[in-house]
Structure 1
């Protein structure tokens, strides 16, 4: 083979190797605000005692089912319910004390509703930020792809124009071959760049609620005790599996290579567009799981209303 062809083959190998090894990464430094989550300094002493460790009165078992008792224990109103049921069964009932106890229960229910609303809003805030960043990176990626595509088109046009001009001028075949191969290599190189193009953003999230949920702790730094108890309560209808465990299973099953993406649970790291979308999805699942707590609260309130009607002699 002629030396000139060895030169062209070597040039081809260099272009292909560089194209395969090089990955276009754009690092974009963006401040990631922490205004969404606040550390509320909860401790294990704030957590309700597990329902299985409580000695339930016959009144509680009679008037409330397991679902209501679980949510009542999460809200910390078991003693108040016992008092309420005790007043209900007295012949000379003290209506004032009954009303005061009922108001105390209602206040705790309202407080729990506010906690659910507050934490779901905070999670939604984090989710929206992740989605906004993913859209921003996607735009940057599309812009880079367009620029490389235009470069490939211009390269092809220049190669065609150059070879045509040389042929018209009676140029040698080697020059035409060299231009054609070089132009082709340039197009291949640009094509490989497009395939490997990737945007990344460095995010610091020291207040990482995903890590808080993943860790098996007796309390949460960000979730109120009622919500943390609710997520970690072992439900016999789910074979003792907690809602938190089910959530972690979904994260593992539906998130892309989550086992290799420990950055989701760290305090900072580099995120691609797909990783940001995964993070937003994980936050959305957590938000939805906590929001379902309202269904159990509603179920409890319905049973409590039946008890109040019974006390007041109102037919159910």
Structure 2
């Protein structure tokens, strides 16, 4: 009877959700966002460059990617002024022309620096959430390992008790069906423990009212998580190029192709979407690890802006 109670306790522990109050309080609270909530209208997002008339002096001296990032961070109107003023300085190196050139140049670099800070800020939040989610997943994984260990010990004890009992009965030449009954019972119990080792999954309530994945998935017009420059950059694509996809669309396509958003752990695809891109719910360790990977993938896409910022900065230097 005691052995039965032992097995039942293992079963209940393996199926339980995490209920440690202190741990759950830490899960509920995130310090990854330091109050960076953005409020802007659709009109405040830069107009795509394919809808604009671009000064020919830019198209002759800069790459399309340079022009696009310049549009994203709000220096598209400053660059022609800078180039024209640079040409004026070459013809007339007066003090006023030099001051005007330095003023325009400083304004451009101020906006580049601001864009770089915004990228770093959003990347820091994504990285923080990734680490936090991974830490919780690791905690659950460790709990699952301990449960597997208990189940394994239970299986060993069960087998040992069965062998000893059967041996005693045989040594006493017991002609009853007791040994057979014990053998069948132990076999069933052992199979039960084996199934538990394969199927047990701990879960935890993990909610995220500020969901940095949700707006990516839903393709909202504006974002409260990403500043206008980054939101423009993630959503930009030229409709004239039918094969071109925005970074946001590429992220979603990858999530689907690699089955990061699919039916799993007994949940339908719709339920998985609600968990990942809604306010949250009960997560397994595998789902938390998957969410952490999504954070990392968005962060990588956003950091591509740094390459374009570097490119447009170098292009300005080559204009001298």
> Same fold by TM (over 0.5)?
yes
Aligned twin of 1:32 = 28
**Partner of residue 255 from structure 2, selected from 251, 256, 261:** 251
Separation in structure 1 between the aligned mates of residue 196 and residue 244 of structure 2, nearest angstrom: 51
Q: What secondary structure does 1:198 align onto?
A: coil
Greater Cα offset, 211-220 or 242-251: 211-220
Where in structure 1 do 4 or more consecutive aligned residues deviate above 6 Å? none
2:14 and 2:147 in contact (8 A); partners too: no
Residue deviations 1:84-126, cap 9 Å, x none? 1232333446221111111000000000111111111110001
CA shift, 1:171, in A, is: 2.2
Residues 277 and 74 (structure 1), Cα distance of their counterparts in 2 relative to 1, 3 Å cut: same
Q: Does 1:282 align with 2:307?
A: no
CA shift, 1:237, in A, is: 6.7
Residue deviations 1:45-71, cap 9 Å, x none? 331111112111222222222111000
Alignment of 1:89-104 (within 5 A): 89-90=87-88, 91-92=91-92, 94-104=97-107
Separation in structure 1 between the aligned mates of residue 14 and residue 150 of structure 2, nearest angstrom: 13
1:24 and 1:198 in contact (8 A); partners too: yes
Q: Say how many residue pairs are matched.
A: 288
Separation in structure 2 between the aligned mates of residue 136 and residue 179 of structure 1, nearest angstrom: 38
Separation in structure 2 between the aligned mates of residue 70 and residue 241 of structure 1, nearest angstrom: 15
Separation in structure 2 between the aligned mates of residue 49 and residue 289 of structure 1, nearest angstrom: 21
Note the residue ranges of structure 2 that are not aligned, 5 or more in a row: 1-11, 264-268
CA shift, 1:196, in A, is: 1.5
Q: Does 1:180 align with 2:183?
A: yes
Separation in structure 1 between the aligned mates of residue 178 and residue 59 of structure 2, nearest angstrom: 94
1:34 and 1:207 in contact (8 A); partners too: no
Aligned twin of 2:56 = 58
Aligned twin of 2:212 = 209
How much is the aligned-residue C-alpha RMSD, in angstroms?
A: 2.1
1:255 and 1:278 in contact (8 A); partners too: no
CA shift, 1:226, in A, is: 1.1
